[in-house]
A and B are shown apart, each in its own frame.
Chain A
Amino acid sequence: MNTRLNCSALLAGLTISTFLALPAAAACLKVIGTEGGGTSLTMDPAFNNLNDDSYQQNLVFNKLVNIDANFQPVPELAKSWSVSEDGKTWTFVLEEGVTFHDGKPLTAADVVYTFKRLIDPATGSPGTPLLSFLDPAGIVAVDDHTVAMTTGDVVAELPLLVANKYTMIVQDGATSETLKSTGVGTGPFVQDVYDLAQDTRIFRKNPAYWRAGLPVAECIDLKVITEEVSRVAAIQAGSADLILSAGPAALTTLKDDPTAQPVPAAGAGGYMTLSMQTDAPPFDDLRVRQAMKLVVDRQLVVDTVLLGNGIPGNDNPIAPNNPMAFRSDTLPRDIERAKALLAEAGYPDGITVDLNTADAGPGYVMLAQIYQQMAAPAGITVNVVNNPADSYWDLTWMKTPFFSSSWNGRSVPEALAYTFISSAEYNEGRWSNAEYDALVTAMRIETNDEKRVEMVKRAQEIITEDGGIIIPAFFVDTAVLRTGCSGYVPHPSAAIYNFETLTCAE
């Protein structure tokens, strides 16, 4: 590859193309993302990191099993599945007539390869720990259209757990080197122009898409604009057709604007946290933790930080409006009780804590500031430490006693385990509760739905009362469609995007 500065070649190319100029791709729908990946962008599902990766990967790939707005499994490339008598073997039957963008038909071998590659530590994927329950030897292609997954222990909700953002199905034999910039999948759109230098990404309709009649759009032009004012300007000027996630300020600006239609997600997705490490003073004392939680005015957080685009949280990862929530009302604020608890714990004159935050996620700094104000009347003096955003994740997150964080929407079993069991890699609270761990293990193998729901509720109760994580609010993501466009609803999980039915009247 010629690596010399080729300005002259570029200029020559531009000149030539003037004469061969194709008409501008007028039929491409302009989709605007909010969180950009820049040069770290990847087409490789195994290395899906930022939302920008999800935007493009969701256009080009399908998963075996996908997740709906209620975080229930829905068939995708697997049209059906069943579990064996002993509960340890799940069998997935694949759709027929599915082909990759290069014409190669989808077979069980591709599914087996995808999962084995993910589990293999040599790949180096961040998704490897999520699939620790799978045994590579137990993933077998029964025949061309059937895949079996056998696990050592019963995994009651395996279909849900194999539907995370890393598990999009790639071709058998695809390597990390090629997948970084070229995604050959079975998805509704085909990668066409992928020019990171010019920041241009165009995806064309897959004519052989296995879902008949879809996608509706001819092509999608994906771009990330980090400036909210510029995104708003784009919609108002008619240059953008869809903004994937509009911030609270943008929604306020576009509220009465006839050129834009806000489209809220069907359910609550991710949540914000203020995480306390429970293995050292002062947060090792349950009373202190409870006091820290009691000062929170959850509705106020939703009204200010999220400007109403959210749902109050009850300090556990299941949103109160979820049918499996252990309580649907909002935990009340109680300053007196907080003071009393602190006094009991040995802090009659209050307590001083450092809260580490950064502009590394939506609303982090604002939440920290609001928390500082909410905690003051109870004698809790919060010192907000605003760290630089780009080093927050390597230097501050999970390395200080009290810090900001947030998590994407997930299915219930994943949410309860991912950051809360004592052995979790991302156990932000350094929390260890034996009853909780046992419950999570038990619910994983519990095949009786009613019993499992009971366990889920009890688990939430334990987190809320004993855990070290303050969860004051859930995000309700809202997209904005240009008037005249339709067919898009944001998914509560920020890693799932469905562009199949997006269309715009001209």
Chain B
Amino acid sequence: MSFVRLIIARLVASVLTLLLVSVVVFTGVQGLPGDATARILGREAPQEARDRLRAELNLDDPLVQRYLHWAGAALKGDFGTSFASRQPVTDYLAPRLANTLALSGLALLFYIPLSILPAIAQARRPDGPLDRSITVLTVAILSAPEFLSATLMLFAFAVIWPVFPPMVQLTAEMGWPAYLHALMLPALTLGLLLATYGVRLLRESLLEIYRSDFVRMAEFKGLSDRRILWRHVLPNALIPWMNATALNIAFMIGGVVVVEKVFAFPGFGSALVSALQLRDLPVISAGVMIAAAIFILVNLLADIGALIANPRLRSRQ
């Protein structure tokens, strides 16, 4: 199969997947039990008020009709109107998504050195004291639920050593520096959490490559340690690490709910959770679709990247 055909095949597959996700999500969300109107208006709302709201929100139209209407509008970028706020869904979700993307991006900047540097240090002297202590630390963080780690980070860097503000306060007039400063602590927390996986993975890869023949050849050739590391070992070790990193990026979009809750961060994950609690169906559908679309996109890019980097994969998978 030629390279271009492979890419097109992957593209088509991604689009199909996206379509499938839209059906799954929409049906699932419509099937959520519980009355949106009661939650939005409150327990003391009279039945007439609830019925009135029900009619306004077209909650009683047939399912297929609602799906087609929704899907058609979504393709044009219109995700409908939130039940709870009566504002367009995109007005509410777009800034939230931007915040989460910014948070993820910043977290990625922390993640890269936090996962690469310790792994290198460990691989240089395996089973040495540094290796052991870093392992203990990563295992400790891995074994604790995220909300505990996040809460500890909050207390460590916002209360005990008040380097950062304890809660995220974003305003439209903030400049970039203030915005980044506000995001710093949650991003650091997120980066640290993800790095614990990256470190372990990279350490394994590095050790595997260090043992290989071709490194031994380089050593015989008299190349310096540093050169071997940075020019030969690391680039190869990074390939599986990058694959995992792609998965982590995708995870960040939907999985940072916990970090958002602890830091009161107005992000995408918490928007989805509160929409779930309110049964704000348009927001839920739009949110899950967007998260899925990002995941599919990131995977597609990672696949294409892998295909470019590794010609051997271009034969039949």
Q: Do chains A and B touch in the complex (CB under 8 A)?
A: yes
* B155 and A233 within 8 A (CB): yes
* A239 and B98 within 8 A (CB): no
Closest to B170 in A: A198
- Given A1-B88, A41-B85, A200-B171, A391-B34 contact (CB < 8 Å): yes
* A200 and B264 within 8 A (CB): no
For chain A, give the interface size range: 35 or more
* Nearest CB of chain B from residue A17's CB, rounded to whole Å: 6
**In the docked arrangement, what's the CA distance between A393 and B39, Å?**
8
Query: Is A280 part of the binding interface, using a Cβ–Cβ cutoff of 8 Å?
Result: no
* B169 and A39 within 8 A (CB): no
* B262 and A38 within 8 A (CB): no
**In the docked arrangement, what's the CA distance between A181 and B46, Å?**
22
**In the docked arrangement, what's the CA distance between A234 and B82, Å?**
31
With a cutoff of 8 Å between Cβ atoms, the chain B residues found around residue A84 in the complex are none
A39 touches which one: B53, B170, B177, B283 (CB < 8 A)?
A: B283
Closest to A6 in B: B94
With a cutoff of 8 Å between Cβ atoms, the chain A residues found around residue B151 in the complex are 229
Query: Is B232 part of the binding interface, using a Cβ–Cβ cutoff of 8 Å?
Result: no
* A17 and B172 within 8 A (CB): yes
A window 225-256: CB within 8 A of B? 225-227, 229-230, 233-234, 236-240
* B169 and A221 within 8 A (CB): yes
Closest to B35 in A: A394
With a cutoff of 8 Å between Cβ atoms, the chain B residues found around residue A240 in the complex are 167
- Given A225-B167, A393-B38, A3-B91 contact (CB < 8 Å): yes
- Given A15-B176, A394-B34, A10-B98 contact (CB < 8 Å): yes
Closest to A48 in B: B42
**In the docked arrangement, what's the CA distance between A1 and B84, Å?**
19
- Given A17-B173, A39-B280, A230-B264, A197-B94 contact (CB < 8 Å): yes
* A4 and B167 within 8 A (CB): no
B window 139-192: CB within 8 A of A? 151, 154-155, 158-159, 162, 165-167, 169-179
Query: Is B247 part of the binding interface, using a Cβ–Cβ cutoff of 8 Å?
Result: no
**In the docked arrangement, what's the CA distance between A240 and B46, Å?**
38
A window 98-142: CB within 8 A of B? 121, 124-126, 128-129
- Given A7-B94, A39-B92, A229-B151, A223-B278 contact (CB < 8 Å): no
Interface-forming stretch among A18-26, A336-344, A454-462, A467-475?
Answer: A18-26
With a cutoff of 8 Å between Cβ atoms, the chain A residues found around residue B41 in the complex are 47, 49, 124, 126
With a cutoff of 8 Å between Cβ atoms, the chain A residues found around residue B34 in the complex are 390-391, 394-395
* A193 and B77 within 8 A (CB): no
* Nearest CB of chain A from residue B172's CB, rounded to whole Å: 6
* B159 and A233 within 8 A (CB): yes
* B176 and A14 within 8 A (CB): yes
B95 touches which one: A10, A50, A125 (CB < 8 A)?
A: A10
* B262 and A394 within 8 A (CB): no
With a cutoff of 8 Å between Cβ atoms, the chain B residues found around residue A177 in the complex are 86
Closest to A49 in B: B42
**In the docked arrangement, what's the CA distance between A4 and B93, Å?**
11
- Given A3-B78, A38-B84, A390-B39, A236-B159 contact (CB < 8 Å): yes
* B95 and A40 within 8 A (CB): no
**In the docked arrangement, what's the CA distance between A240 and B166, Å?**
9
Query: Is A196 part of the binding interface, using a Cβ–Cβ cutoff of 8 Å?
Result: yes
A window 295-347: CB within 8 A of B? none
* Nearest CB of chain A from residue B102's CB, rounded to whole Å: 9
A window 384-421: CB within 8 A of B? 389-391, 393-395, 397
Query: Is B211 part of the binding interface, using a Cβ–Cβ cutoff of 8 Å?
Result: no
Q: Which 3 A-B pairs have the closest CB atoms?
A: A124-B49, A21-B175, A49-B42
Question: Which residue numbers of A lie inside 8 Å of B, CB to CB?
Answer: 1, 3-7, 10-11, 13-15, 17-18, 20-22, 24-25, 36, 38-41, 47, 49-50, 121, 124-126, 128-129, 177, 180-181, 193, 195-200, 202, 221, 223, 225-227, 229-230, 233-234, 236-240, 389-391, 393-395, 397, 425-426
